[in-house]
């Protein structure tokens, strides 16, 4: 009887060692831009001091949504600045999905403006999308 239990124990250990563990896929949230009348969804050329409308739509894929950060960089700079109206921490009602429209006014200087939209979820998974404006 002891031999049978011993053999069953070894067989169980062998089977559990050979089984693959489920690996968390770390699926980031889905971030998209609203399309249609009046929305900007891609790079474009615009006059200085003009405004664009960007509609942000975010959907949870795996973990609750946590933050949205909108930042910008001028003329190819690698350093970015956070745009204050675009810094948002999700409320419990927004953990599954979030949507908002943002009006962005370009500066009064010719050059480029890269606007980056970054969303993160509870596990730190990140999705980013950018729009580059060429200001004339």
3-state SS assignment for residue 104: strand
Banded model confidence at residue 1, pLDDT cuts 50, 70, 90: low
Q: Helix count (H) and strand count (E) of the chain?
A: 1, 8
pLDDT of residue 124: 96
pLDDT of residue 90: 97
Write out the CATH class of domain 29-135.
mainly beta
Cα 118 from Cα 130, distance rounded (Å): 9
104 pLDDT above the threshold of 80: yes
Number of Cα atoms under 13 Å in the Cβ half of residue 118 = 15
Q: Comparing 15 with 119, which gets the higher pLDDT? A: 119
Banded model confidence at residue 16, pLDDT cuts 50, 70, 90: low
Give residue-wise pLDDT tens across range 38-71: 999 999 999 999 999 999 999 999 999 999 999 9
pLDDT of residue 15: 55
Domain ranges of the chain: 29-135
pTM of the model: 0.80
Percentage of residues in the chain having pLDDT higher than 70: 82
């Amino acid at each position: 009887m002891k031999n049978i239990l011993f053999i069953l124990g070894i067989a169980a250990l062998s089977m559990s060692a050979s089984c693959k563990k489920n690996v968390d896929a770390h699926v980031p949230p889905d971030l998209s831009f609203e399309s249609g009348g009046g929305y900007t969804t891609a790079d474009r050329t615009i006059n200085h001091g003009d405004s664009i409308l960007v509609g942000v739509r975010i959907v949870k894929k795996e973990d609750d949504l946590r933050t949205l950060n909108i930042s910008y960089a001028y003329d190819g700079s690698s350093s970015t600045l956070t745009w204050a109206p675009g810094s948002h921490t999700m409320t419990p009602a927004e953990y599954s999905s979030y949507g908002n429209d943002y009006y962005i006014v370009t500066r009064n200087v010719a050059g480029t403006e890269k606007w980056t939209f970054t969303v993160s979820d509870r596990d730190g998974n990140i999705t980013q999308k950018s729009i580059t404006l060429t200001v004339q």
